[in-house]
Amino acid sequence: MRFATVEEPDGVVRCGVVVDGVLHRLPVGTTVLDLLREDRLFAAGRGALSARDSVPLEEVRLLPPLEAPTVRDFVAFEEHVEGVRRGVEGRVGVVPEWYEAPAFYFTNPHSLIGAHDEVAAPPGCAVLDYELEVAAVIGRVGSDLTPERARSHIAGYTIFNDWSARDLQSREMRVGLGPAKGKDFAGTLGPVLVTADELEPHRDADGFLRLAMSVSVNGVELGRDLLSNMGWTFEELVVHAARGSRVRPGDVLGSGTCGNGGCLAELWGRNGVQQPPPLRPGDVVEMTVEGIGGIANTVVGGPTEAEVAPVRPARPGQAATVS
């Protein structure tokens, strides 16, 4: 099944099952996250398909398919890591630590936007970039899993564009933390949540989902890759996320950016110059993933509020006193 969450013209938010461009609506107040938590996603979907309550998708605004409690974004494509490192550090190759275990960072679930929403660069950003990814959505609580058990914890998949303010990201990561504000402002999730069973026919002999991925800017294709070029399967990403911790329904796990033009920063590293140029207002970024669908976001002008001032000049240390 394919689940979507939408905002209707009167502002009411509804979710339901999408078939041939039509949303078969679930009752008002029902959310995809609640259905996952209550383990009744398929039962509710069957009910929606049998009810006489539907609306064409073209008449509503697509929101992220669910309100994600957390978003872990991995970096699972070697080609992406190599290209970006060349552009940022001027070095060839991949750090050895990348091969030892999947790495991820937590990003902001409150800044997720819908499949066709506008996106603005954050204050102070002059180097805006896209990042083409697929994300898995957790359907069951899990901790300290095996890859075999982890598969049953994945409810489905969606497209993820992890928008990046490269200049902000580069500065803050020199401190040894991050990315943070360089990723804090937007992440597109959509257009739908495709249940895992629908993508099983695309699984290869090694357990990877062989899905074609592409991205274009203003109608010009800049990147194309296969999801199966990940270094780890999604099941292995779930294992790592739940290792010594736990995953819960609705948690989003991004694959990380694909290679072969999955983001501009990779192309800049390989070309030696910022060509194609950073994104500007008016640019339309479209992403398509086989078996899931497509998203398209237009870049618009952003806020210009002043950033926090640099740290004050150093002052003599003051002794702490305890009363």
Positive or negative, the Cα torsion across 236, 186, 188, 298? negative
The answer to whether the peptide bond before residue 278 is cis (omega within 30 degrees of 0) is no
pLDDT value of residue 130: 98
pLDDT value of residue 315: 67
Could you tell me the mean pLDDT of each successive run of 10 residues in the chain, 323 residues long? 98 98 97 98 97 96 98 96 78 88 96 98 94 98 96 98 93 84 95 98 97 98 98 98 97 97 94 94 98 98 77 72 62
Please answer whether residues 146 and 170 qualify as being in contact, where contact means their C-beta atoms are separated by less than 8 angstroms.
no
- CATH code 3.90.850.10 region(s) in the chain: 71-300
pLDDT value of residue 320: 67
pLDDT value of residue 176: 82
pLDDT value of residue 179: 87
DSSP states along 235-267: HHHHHHHHTTS-B-TT-EEE----SSSSBHHHH
Q: Rounded to two decimals, what is the model's pTM?
A: 0.95
- The residues with which 287 forms a beta bridge, in sequence order, are 215, 295
- The residues with which 72 forms a beta bridge, in sequence order, are 106, 253
Q: Which helix (H) or strand (E) holds 168?
A: helix 166-173
- CATH number for 71-300 (one of 1.20.140.10, 3.90.850.10, 3.40.50.880, 3.10.150.10): it is 3.90.850.10
Query: For the CA atoms of 208, 166, 160, 67, what is the dihedral angle to 10 degrees?
Result: 130
The whole-angstrom distance between residue 254's C-alpha and the CA centroid of its chain comes to 5
The whole-angstrom distance between residue 87's C-alpha and the CA centroid of its chain comes to 22
What one-letter code names the amino acid at 302?
G
State the pairing for strand pair 71-74/13-19.
unpaired
Which three-class secondary structure state does DSSP give residue 172?
Answer: helix
